[in-house]
Amino acid sequence: MSKEISRRSFIKGSLVAACATCASQVPLPASAKTKDGQELATLIDIRKCIGCEACVEACREVNDFKYPEPEKPFPRMYPNRVKVADWSDEDGREVRDRLTPYNWLSIQWATVDVDGEETELSFPRRCMHCQNPPCADLCPWGAARKLENGITVIHSDICLGGKKCQVVCPWDIPQRQTGVGLYLDLLPSLAGNGVMYKCDRCYNRIAEGELPACIEECPEDVQIIGPRDEIVAEAHRLAEEEGVYIYGETENGGTNTLYVSPVPYETLNQAISKGPGQPHFDKVEDQMAHADNLAKAMLIAPFAGLAAAVGRVYKVSKKLGDNTGEAS
Amino acid sequence: MTPETTPKAFSELTYFKPLYLLLLFIMGLTGFGQMPIFKRYYIADIPGLAWLADFYATHYIHYIGAVILFGFFVYAAVVYFGLMRKQFRLTRAAYVRIALLAAIAITGIFRVLKNLPDVVFSPLFTMVIDISHLAFMMFLMVFGIIFMISKKGWLDKKLGF
């Protein structure tokens, strides 16, 4: 028997599922914040990285329990243009040279000229954890969100895998796995397509007072973590004293991942492989700046409406008064 | 009663309804555009509608629409209480519409707040805001259709006018 889906059943089903999800949701890791309420940022010193991938392995090991275990076969999706994104087979899970749902941190390589000497640089790439993250701001379902400590997370038990977060992310960071998540309980053929995954900067470890795995396991201390003001100050000190270039301080309005590099980022950007799961080092304007300005305009709009209306009422009342005067 | 006080004298009675419907249509369209459905279901493939798949474009238009709506709501309220209240009363259908519009506006304000830098809400509150904003809009659409079919407008003339 075919199962007809009406608008009512869709809304009802969605609301019930969403409420159930809310009720069963893991509480916000409220302790995952700095004492003074400042956001935590990391500083990645590209000069120190030796490309050993210890950070990649550490990330995979500690976050293994968060990785998707999709149900197969995947639901048939309509229309046909909706493609399956599947990294769950053995080969997919082993991919390390790009970001995937099973690889939230990858090493990029670049051969560049440093002080007249050809040098091979390596550096970890992952979510930049923007201060005003478009992925969290524009997520229609509330699955992607920013924590008070500046970490942006995607709740895998809420995400429907619509990929909007990846589309609006300036670095295309989140990666989709089909066949897992809430959409399977709603309308798997007609809406959603899995769950989006990305670095959550080990928010659960930070909540317990531990370091993110990639920082803890790095043998070269490539990354440091701390309140953003201190991280920015350290990046500026390095830029002033050692002539390095900074990335992330102002990109997309400011991120909580800063890089320092011995060469300009234009140079680095030209030397790296870019594409799906391989983020660029382009300059990035603040993607949410226009929206923030319009939000301010929303404060003014009622007063403009009030002024116009008072003018209109005054004008009509005056005209009525004049007419009454003439009539008498 | 002078000609100036006849109901037809208020130009608002002529242009409020089309403006309101146009604004609601744009807000509904761009609101639904926040979900990744227009590209999936080929609507953005229709010539002239490609912008519906641009999340930033629909988001900005939604915000601009909200700016206009907030101004419009206050203008409409003041003009009603200042000029029209003696001649017209709000219908029950109008009260339902106003309640739903208020709910949409309030949840929308919280959504805008959430999108500002340094404003962080809990996951549950964020979801409640997101889903209720959508749900109130859908209720408004449903009630709007019901009121349209049953020809229940916003205003009733008071006796004597």
How many structural domains is chain A composed of? 2
Residue A23 included in any domain: no
Is some CB atom of chain A closer than 8 A to the CB atom of B6? no
Q: Work out the average pLDDT over A232-243.
A: 96
A68 with A186, same domain: the answer is yes
B73 with B94, same domain: the answer is no
Radius of gyration (Cα) for chain B, nearest Å? 18
- Judge whether residue A32 has pLDDT over 90: no
Nearest CA in chain A to B83: A313
Q: What is the pLDDT of residue A108?
A: 97
Q: Work out the average pLDDT over B123-141.
A: 91
Q: What is the pLDDT of residue B6?
A: 53
A175 with A309, same domain: the answer is no
Find all residues with CB under 8 Å of A312, minimum gap 6, and list them: B75, B79, B82, B83
- Judge whether residue B9 has pLDDT over 70: no
Taking only the tens place, the pLDDT of each residue in A56-81 is 999 999 999 999 999 899 998 888 88
Secondary structure (3-state) at A63:
coil
| Domain that includes residue B66, residue range | 11-85
Chain A residues in contact with B128 (beta carbon < 8 A): 22
A305 with A283, same domain: the answer is no
Q: Cβ A310–B124 below 8 Å, yes or no?
A: no
Residue B135 included in any domain: yes
Name which of A11, A131, A308 is nearest B117 (Cβ-Cβ). A131
Residue B1 included in any domain: no
Find all residues with CB under 8 Å of A276, minimum gap 6, and list them: A98, A172
Taking only the tens place, the pLDDT of each residue in B19-54 is 999 999 999 999 999 999 999 999 999 999 999 999
Taking only the tens place, the pLDDT of each residue in A147-188 is 989 999 999 999 999 999 999 999 999 999 999 999 999 999
A142 with A268, same domain: the answer is yes
Taking only the tens place, the pLDDT of each residue in A79-98 is 888 889 999 999 999 999 99
- pLDDT band at residue A18, thresholds of 50, 70 and 90? very low
Residue B95 included in any domain: yes
A281 with A300, same domain: the answer is no
Name which of A167, A295, A312 is nearest B55 (Cβ-Cβ). A167
Is some CB atom of chain A closer than 8 A to the CB atom of B95? no
A219: preceding bond cis by omega (within 30 degrees) = no
In the numeric block, which tokens belong to residue B61?
A: 């238009």
| Domain that includes residue A299, residue range | 294-322
A186 with A311, same domain: the answer is no
B81 with B106, same domain: the answer is no
Residue A33 included in any domain: no
Q: What is the pLDDT of residue A61?
A: 97
Nearest CA in chain B to A39: B118
Q: What is the pLDDT of residue A51?
A: 95
Residue A327 included in any domain: no
B31 with B58, same domain: the answer is yes
- Judge whether residue A7 has pLDDT over 70: no
- Judge whether residue A33 has pLDDT over 70: no
Q: What is the pLDDT of residue A255?
A: 97
Is some CB atom of chain A closer than 8 A to the CB atom of B14? no
Is some CB atom of chain A closer than 8 A to the CB atom of B46? no
B17 with B71, same domain: the answer is yes
A123 with A191, same domain: the answer is yes
Q: Cβ B36–A310 below 8 Å, yes or no?
A: no
Instruction: Select the more confidently predicted residue: A141 or A153.
Output: A153
Q: What is the pLDDT of residue A325?
A: 61
CATH code: domain of residue A115:
3.30.70.20
A302 with A169, same domain: the answer is no
Instruction: Select the more confidently predicted residue: A179 or B85.
Output: A179
Find all residues with CB under 8 Å of A177, minimum gap 6, and list them: A68, A70, A85, A86, A87, A88, A101, A161, A194, A195, A197
Q: Which ipTM score applies to this complex?
A: 0.83
Secondary structure (3-state) at A240:
helix
Nearest to A134 by CA among B54, B15, B11, B47: B54
A131 with A85, same domain: the answer is yes
Q: What is the pLDDT of residue B161?
A: 57
The percentage of residues in chain A with a pLDDT greater than 70, rounded to a whole number, is 87
Q: Work out the average pLDDT over B99-121.
A: 91
Q: Which domain-ending residue is among B52, B85, B118?
A: B85
- Judge whether residue A34 has pLDDT over 70: no
Run of H or E including A114: strand A106-114
- pLDDT band at residue A283, thresholds of 50, 70 and 90? very high
Q: What is the pLDDT of residue A169?
A: 97
Q: What is the pLDDT of residue B13?
A: 78
Chain A residues in contact with B122 (beta carbon < 8 A): 28
If you average pLDDT over every residue of chain B, what do you get? 88
Q: Cβ B129–A142 below 8 Å, yes or no?
A: yes
Sign of CA dihedral A275, A277, A278, A284: positive
Instruction: Select the more confidently predicted residue: A31 or A9.
Output: A9
Chain A residues in contact with B75 (beta carbon < 8 A): 305-306, 308-309, 312
Residue B5 included in any domain: no
- φ, ψ at B90 (rounded to 5°): -75, 140
Radius of gyration (Cα) for chain A, nearest Å? 25
Q: Cβ A291–B63 below 8 Å, yes or no?
A: yes
Name which of B34, B73, B79 is nearest A312 (Cβ-Cβ). B79
A170 with A113, same domain: the answer is yes
Q: Work out the average pLDDT over A90-115.
A: 95
Q: Which long-range contacts (CB under 8 A, 24 or more apart) does A62-66 make?
A: A62/A202, A62/A205, A62/A213, A63/A104, A63/A200, A63/A202, A63/A213, A66/A156, A66/A197, A66/A200
Is some CB atom of chain A closer than 8 A to the CB atom of B15? no
Distance from CA of B152 to the nearest CA of A (A): 23
The percentage of residues in chain B with a pLDDT greater than 70, rounded to a whole number, is 93
Q: What is the pLDDT of residue A35?
A: 56
Q: Work out the average pLDDT over B75-99.
A: 91
Is some CB atom of chain A closer than 8 A to the CB atom of B132? no
Residue B3 included in any domain: no
Q: What is the pLDDT of residue B68?
A: 95
Q: Among A9-13, A261-265, B91-95, whose mean pLDDT is lowest?
A: A9-13
- Judge whether residue A11 has pLDDT over 50: no
How many structural domains is chain B composed of? 2
Q: Cβ B73–A302 below 8 Å, yes or no?
A: yes
In the numeric block, which tokens belong to residue A293?
A: 């300005």
Residue B4 included in any domain: no
Run of H or E including A246: strand A245-247
